[in-house]
Amino acid sequence: MSEASQVIGSEGSTQDFEREPVPQHLRKKWLSMSLVWIAIGIDLSAMFLGAELGNGMNLADSLTATIVGSVILGLIGALCAYVGAKTGLSTAMISRFLFGNVGARIVSIVLGIFSLGWFGVQVGFFSSNMHTAFDKLLGIDLPLGVLSFVGGLLMMSTAIWGYRSIERLSVWSVPLLVIFIGVAIVAAFKTKGTSAIWEPIAGAPIPMGIAISLVIGIFIVGTVLSPDIGRWARTPMHAVTAAFIGFFVGNSLMTIIAIFLSRLMDTDDLTNIFIALGLGLPAIIVLTLAQWTTNTNNLYSASLGFSVVFQKFPKKWITVIAGLIATSLAVFGIYDKFLSFLNVITSFVSPIGGLYTAEYLLVDRKKFTFEGLDRNRNWIFRSLVVWILATLFAYMTTPSPDGFGLFQLTRVPALDAFVFAFIVQWIIGKIASKKG
């Protein structure tokens, strides 16, 4: 155990155990962890997805797509969080068992870069909607770059202090978010009445398969990174319960709320919905908290990945530098590349979840011990090959122009890559263990 770990003695410690297992006496119960995951799931992208579904599907179909997609996310998230709880390690640290001590650095850099990019995209998403809110409510035309800079620093603040800071933010922000959203729903029903939710759709129809794929695709990378949070669970059952509740409730709650709001108000512009209901201040609070609680976790995961690579630097300073870089990406407009970036990140990151769950559950869980890492090989090429193949497989099932569009499997390229990686890693791992 490291010297830093030996001095841990209280809940108030800022030690985040980025390069070692979380000590058992600091592990959390499922309820507080569920709030963290729910807070992560409550974000603007889920809300705007719900608005699009409500505008392009009837009520029953849009609710069905949301629930089915959220259940799948919950199951994958629970599976990945289980590995995190059993090992007590982050996703980046777990990757050392898969790719070797040197090979894992490549994976950690990829995880870190994509998490930073996604942080920048989400900050841009936040600034765009805050710009609309300030313009409509106060007549103030704030530059997007300024809003991106302020938003990035805000979301960076909690990530600097690690999981326990994120937990505290989630514990008080989730109830507040639910209250404000509840007020919006009640106001919408009073304004429009219940009959409006059964009106014919106003937008272009969305097929059920596409709708489910959108629900899954928007959060599947978060499920793969579940060990970053799951490692704090008191027991594996606490991790599984919290992850399933978090991804199912957190993802579905805001999407379903947005479905009702969009159908009641006959538009998919969520910011203007709040303003039309006379909820200007709650709109700003919801926009801020929803994105803050989600995006701080993106930077947290990025800093955990880079901590495996830059082992001589304190995680706090890694987070600060990474956060400033990600905020700069937002200021310079990475948000404009949202869809293309989403396709790239899901194709590269989602196979990693399939790799480590298959390796732990079906191949060789005995090697997943922190004490054995020093004896680990520098490179494990079979996992690197499977990762590359699974990423190519995702591109094969991704429609052009972002992919090759050769065929379809589940209609969700990220899920295709996860399943492909899981099956192939299991088969190749078993063959390799027999030869060894």
Bigger pLDDT: 346 or 88?
Answer: 88
The residues with which 28 forms a beta bridge, in sequence order, are: 233
In this predicted structure, what is the pLDDT of residue 196? 66
Beta strands in 48-134, from DSSP E residues, in sequence order: none
**Tokens 């790239």 sit at which residue?**
344
Measured distance CA(393)–CA(428) in Å, rounded:
17
Over the stretch 107-147, which tens digit does the pLDDT of each residue have? Answer: 888 888 888 888 888 888 788 878 888 888 788 888 988 99
Whether pLDDT at 368 is above 50: yes
pLDDT at residue 404 above 70?
yes
> Minimum mean pLDDT among 9-18, 21-30, 269-278: which range?
9-18
Asked if the bond preceding 401 is cis, omega within 30° of 0, the reply is yes
Provide the CB-side half-sphere exposure for 175 (13 A, CA).
4
Q: Rounded to an integer, what distance in angstroms lies between the CA atom of residue 155 and that of residue 105?
A: 26
Helix (H, G, I), strand (E, B) or coil at 143: coil
Other residues' Cβ atoms within 10 Å of the Cβ of residue 46: 26
Closest by CA to 260, choosing from 314, 312, 189, is 189
Q: How far apart are CA 67 and CA 69, in angstroms?
A: 5
pLDDT of 235 higher than 90 = yes
Listing DSSP states for 383-413 in one string gives: HHHHHHHHHHHHHHHSPTTTS-----SSS-H
Percent of the chain with pLDDT over 90: 27
pLDDT of residue 4: 34
State residue 361's pLDDT score: 95
Please report the pLDDT score of residue 201 as a whole number. 66
3 state SS of 409: coil
Residue 8 has pLDDT above 60, yes or no: no
Q: What is the pLDDT of residue 164?
A: 76
pLDDT at 76: 93
DSSP state of 28: B
How many residues are given for the chain? 436
Q: Band the pLDDT of 11: cuts 50, 70, 90.
A: very low
Instruction: For residue 322, give the amino acid letter.
Output: A
pLDDT higher than 80, residue 415: yes
Coil, strand or helix at 233: strand
Residue 270 reports pLDDT greater than 80: no
Q: Is the pLDDT of residue 338 over 70?
A: no
pLDDT at 272: 75
**56 band by pLDDT with thresholds 50, 70 and 90:** confident
In the predicted model, what is the mean pLDDT of residues 379-401?
92
Token duo for residue 385: 């090959």
Q: How confident is the model at residue 9 (pLDDT cuts 50, 70, 90)?
A: very low
pLDDT at position 335 over 90 = no
Q: Which residues contact 221 (CB under 8 A, 6 or more apart)?
A: 114, 118, 345, 346, 349, 350, 414
Residue 10 has pLDDT above 80, yes or no: no
Express each pLDDT in 140-183 by its tens digit: 888 988 999 998 998 898 888 877 787 787 777 778 777 877 88
Average pLDDT over residues 199-204: 69
User: How far apart (Å, rounded) are the C-alpha atoms in residues 228 and 388?
Assistant: 23
At residue 124, the pLDDT reads: 84
Q: Among the listed ranges 77-81, 204-208, 269-273, 321-325, which one has the minimum average pLDDT value?
A: 269-273
Res. 5 pLDDT band, cuts 50 70 90: very low
The mean predicted confidence, pLDDT, of the chain is 84
Report residue 18 as tokens: 């980025």
Q: Comparing 31-45, 115-129, 156-170, 279-293, which segment has the lowest mean pLDDT? A: 279-293
